[in-house]
Structure 1
Amino acid sequence: METAQLVQALKERGYRVTPQRIEVINLVMEKLAKRQHPTFNDILNEVKQKMPTISASTVYSVLKLLEEGGFVVSFEHNGRTYYDSASPHVNVVCVNTNRVIDLEDGEITELFRKRGIHPTSIVVKAVCRE
């Protein structure tokens, strides 16, 4: 989803669209478009470079808003929360390198759908080649 569409969806739900919210949304959407899996701290640190006065609670509330709206999903690994695209796919968390790799595997998501399950996030922990 494009940032402009996301901002419009938030407006339609009655949320104020502040410069801080737009900055967080832009950053998150940019990272997800690059298939990255930012953590809260990644997002906070990067937004603070452009908006030094932004608070952690503001960033957290925007991420919560995006997740509750179904625009992003989150998953945890080793005490860190990662944010990701809400489109169904498999995240492979490499336990030996702490990398997160996206797999677009229609077979796996189709198996779930055949059983009436519509996954928003599938996380597989694995040992990966370096």
Structure 2
Amino acid sequence: MSKVSPESVESLKETLKQEGYKLTPQRRAILNGIIKSEGSHLTAEELYDLVKIDCPEIGLATIYRTVQLLEDMGVIRKFDLDDGCSRYELNHQDERHQHHHLICNRCGKVLEVQGDLLEELESIVEKEYNFKIEDHSLKFYGVCEKCAGK
């Protein structure tokens, strides 16, 4: 399993400590699972299946509580792909906005679009409507390369 970098662990420990929490072995295992699966957009149940391989004593309730805690702290971000499931991904501090997603209607594969392609449009909308945009989310639905080739 990929490990959290020592800098990330120390930063998270400090953040947890400031909030009155400890970086328990279970929380560390969950964070490792999230990092290991980066780009996979896991549900809490999928994360549970991944984490219990290396931490068999962990319970699903611990996953839910820890995911909520990490989301509240801004370590991870929850998003919805309109499939009735909440999914989670790391919240990178260098991203001003959420990145965009490409979702295949056939196989369900999710690809991340890197780069914020909406900055110019955002600026126009802010000026036109006198509205300060803090974040946005954009999802494209279609057919991935693999499914299109079938």
Name the TM-score, length of structure 1 as normaliser.
0.82
Gaps of 5+ in 1: none
- 1:15: Cα distance to partner? 0.8
- Which residues of 2 match residues 1-130 of structure 1 at below 5 A? 2-32=8-38, 35-77=39-81, 78-86=83-91, 87=95, 88-109=98-119, 111-112=121-122, 115=126, 116-119=132-135, 122-129=137-144, 130=147
2:102 is paired with a residue of what secondary structure? strand
Query: How many percent of aligned residue pairs carry the same amino acid?
Result: 24
- 1:31: Cα distance to partner? 2.0
1:66 is paired with a residue of what secondary structure? helix
- In the alignment of these two chains, the number of paired residues is 127
- 1:52: Cα distance to partner? 1.5
CA distance in 2, matches of 1:69, 1:112: 26
**8 Å Cα contact 1:93/1:124 also seen in 2:** yes
RMSD: 2.2
Task: Please identify the structure whose Cα radius of gyration is greater.
Answer: 2
One-letter amino acid of the counterpart of residue 122, structure 2: F
Moved more, 84-93 or 53-62: 84-93
- 1:113: Cα distance to partner? 5.9
1 or 2, which has the higher strand percentage? Answer: 1
- 1:96: Cα distance to partner? 2.1
CA distance in 2, matches of 1:127, 1:46: 28
CA distance in 2, matches of 1:61, 1:113: 38
Runs of 4+ in 1 over 3 A off after TM superposition: 109-114
